[in-house]
Amino acid sequence: MADFYQSSLITTLHRLGKPNIERLESELELYSMVTPVALVLPALYSDVRGEAMAGIVEELKKARFIREIVLALGPATDDEFERVKEFLSVLPQEVHVIHNNGKRIKEIYRMLEEAGIGAGQDGKGRSAWLAYGFVIARGKCDVIALHDCDILTYNLDMLARLCYPVVNPSLDYVFCKGYYARVTNKLHGRVTRLFVTPLVRALSKIIGSNTFLEFIDSFRYPLAGEFCMITELARVNRIPWDWGLEVGVLAEVYRNYSPKRVCQVDIAENYEHKHQPLSADDPATGLTKMSIDIAKSLFRTLASEGIVFSDGFSKTLVATYQKLAEDTLIRYEGDAAINGLEFDRHEEAMAVEAFTNGITVAADTIRENPLGAPLIPNWNRVISAIPGILERLRNAVEEDNR
């Protein structure tokens, strides 16, 4: 349902009426002649072989405003890498697959370690970061878009709306975040609904006015995996390698650019992809692990601004969060009821309990080490530390793709 609501810090670009995708694509084709676009796809081999990816490829065949596509393939064998290349060979754009487990890319990681530059552990963050470096090394695109490869409801309109605010020269945005509803027969997006939003608002209650927290709270779906940015931003942003990736990216955008040059766009009426289990009893997996990593990312940013996570602060935060999360749960119960959706109050309450424990774990970690897990350094630092690294990366990927 269309609305006109604007948050206080960033611009919201709404879906008003029935979109004219033909007009949007036509304008994007024109703009992309001057401002070429690269699409980065972080993916596991299981994603590529999954149901969603076949539909994504069919839609991307029509994306004439995309110059190149870079798929950063997670752990995979050489045979799987070759099958992914063959699968994507039907696309008309320039396509490169980064073989993270290949010997050439492993040599790149070895060079980074020798130079004292940690690229983090295997995961979406590291894959995306390496793909950005490759796009920078190629030097052919001024804009980078990224989205996941498990989107069952994918269509070209999503990608066009995501890219348009950054590619359109009249709008002057450097970063655009997608947002959407995640609804089937029930409400999804528990980590955003029941964790991130109540946590950010609980922090605001305790700390008081804080522009960073206001910035995060301005996003309707801060954990959305879809965004678009100018390539220069990929040079200066550090990247978390864990589940704190999306919030960490927003923190870096906040650090490096004015919120006036940041926007969010409604890219889909509904969005469906795979769902993670809660894993309430195992803080190393599932949504519980995700909540801990996200909280650590938020706390690390606040610690860098001088917020002290004392034992008393942490206990107050847990109590404040729990009350806000329980109130939020009641709001969503009403939302589900009026729309005839299933709503399991016990399941939602269990999620709040798991997330509450996650806050405690994250706060304890930050008290012991306020810097937390190191971010992957930005590409400007890497280029300075290892002259010629971009050429080596470009050659490694291009050799793998011959």
Q: Higher pLDDT residue, 368 or 271? A: 368
Residues 223-269: pLDDT tens digits? 998 999 999 999 999 988 777 789 999 999 999 999 999 999 999 87
Strands 94-99 and 68-73, sheet pairing: parallel
Residue 272 confidence (pLDDT) = 66
**Averaged pLDDT score across all residues of the chain:** 92
The reply to whether 2 falls in a domain is no
The reply to whether 5 falls in a domain is no
The reply to whether 178 falls in a domain is yes
Whether residue 375 is predicted with pLDDT greater than 90 in this model: the reply is no
Residue 324 confidence (pLDDT) = 97
Phi, psi of 61 (to 5 degrees): -60, -25
- Tokens for 50, please give them: 């999954």
Residue 288 confidence (pLDDT) = 84
The reply to whether 51 falls in a domain is yes
CA triplet 356, 362, 365: central angle to 5 degrees? 145
The domain total for the chain is 1
Stated pTM of the model:
0.93
Residue 20 confidence (pLDDT) = 85
Residue 281 confidence (pLDDT) = 63
Dihedral Cα 337, 342, 347, 349, nearest 10 deg: -10
Q: What is the CATH number of the domain that holds 328?
A: 3.90.550.10
- DSSP symbols for 58-86: HHHTT-TT--EEEEEE-S--HHHHHHHHH
CB neighbour list of residue 69: distance below 8 Å, 6 or more residues apart:
38, 39, 41, 60, 88, 91, 93, 94, 95, 96
Whether residue 60 is predicted with pLDDT greater than 70 in this model: the reply is yes
Whether residue 1 is predicted with pLDDT greater than 60 in this model: the reply is no
Among the listed residues 212, 62, 219, 238, the one whose alpha carbon sits nearest the alpha carbon of residue 133: 238
Residues 78-121: pLDDT tens digits? 999 999 999 999 999 999 999 999 999 999 999 999 998 888 88
The reply to whether 1 falls in a domain is no
Residue 345 confidence (pLDDT) = 94
Among the listed residues 322, 313, 301, the one whose alpha carbon sits nearest the alpha carbon of residue 211: 301
Q: How confident is the model at residue 283 (pLDDT cuts 50, 70, 90)?
A: low
Mean pLDDT of 339-348: 94
Mean pLDDT of 279-288: 66
8 Å CB contact between 89 and 60 = no
In which order are the strands placed within the sheet that holds 227-230? 11-13, 262-268, 175-180, 227-230, 143-146, 37-43, 68-73, 94-99
The reply to whether 304 falls in a domain is yes
The reply to whether 139 falls in a domain is yes
**What's the domain range around 208?**
11-397
Report the C-alpha gap between 261 and 300 in whole angstroms: 24
